Structure 1
Amino acid sequence: MEHGTIIPRPTESELELLQILWEKQPATVREIHDALNQDRPSGYTTVLKMLQIMTAKGLVVRDEANRAHVYRAALSQDSMQSKILKDLSKRLFAGSAAQLALHALSMEPASEDELSEIRALIERKRNAASSDHRQIKHIRKDRP
């Protein structure tokens, strides 16, 4: 995908298909259809049409080299999550990632493993901020 290309926010149904692709990618329409049908019934042509729409939107990429078209997600799961959360943060929390995180943590209990990950992230952020602060002081000190 081209750098700077705007990818639209996926609908709930599109997210379902993206979840399957992130797990199995690349995948044919048949493989995606079969995976989707494990959770709920859906028609093959419905899945095909959704993938065609998602291709036009830039959410998935289609490889037409073989007889069966093969699809893969245009963005990694991590990139899509970051894009959606950044948009949500801007719209609901005035761009504050901290407020978004605090709100999310207050809604649902976090496991000990998740809390450990959060503590580790906070420590990495503190260390990075401290390092940035030291570099700025060093640059200012070197100026005539």
Structure 2
Amino acid sequence: MTPSVTELSLLKCLWKQQPLSAREIHERVEQELGWSYSSTRKTLERMLEKDMVAQQAMHGVHVYTAALDKVSTLAAFAHDFGKRVMEIDAPLPVNMFTGSKLVDQQELAELEQLLQDWPAEKA
């Protein structure tokens, strides 16, 4: 399952640092998404139901961790963007991710491999 754009924002927050409470997540995405704390909590609840995040209690507070793998999720988004938005049938060049603050060199190599090996669409 590919996350929505807002779900991806919460996942990116968790990929950078986890576990985080709903309040901590909200503080990190509030400016980007421009929504209320209750919207963040509701989105986290939906993501929990979809197994995109995991929840546990820590010091009496619920905290969240990303349950989706960062590189494979980003590869799915890149593949979708290339095919659906840009109408490109070939794998996207990994250099479009160079300079990203979200992936390190090892993850970049893994992302390139995933994009190169992406299964062909069945007609």
What is the TM-score of this pair, normalised by structure 2? 0.63
- In the TM superposition, residue 84 of structure 1 has moved relative to its aligned partner by 3.7
RMSD across aligned positions (CA): 3.4
Which is bigger in relative contact order (C-alpha 8 A, separation at least 6)?
Answer: 2
Decide which of 86, 98, 101 is 2:92's aligned counterpart: 101
In structure 1, the gaps of 5 or more residues are: 1-7, 126-144
- In the TM superposition, residue 79 of structure 1 has moved relative to its aligned partner by 2.4
Decide which of 47, 63, 72 is 1:54's aligned counterpart: 47
Decide which of 4, 14, 35 is 2:7's aligned counterpart: 14
The structure richer in strand per residue is 2
Q: Which secondary structure does the structure 2 equivalent of 1:81 belong to? A: helix
In structure 2, the gaps of 5 or more residues are: 100-104, 114-123
Match of 1:31?
Answer: 24
Once the two structures are superposed, what CA deviation does each residue of 1:5-31 show, in whole Å capped at 9, x if it has no partner? Answer: xxx110011011111111111111111
| Alignment map for 1:1-144 (pairs within 5 Å) | 8-85=1-78, 99-101=90-92
Match of 2:116?
Answer: none
Larger radius of gyration: 1
What is the TM-score of this pair, normalised by structure 1? 0.55
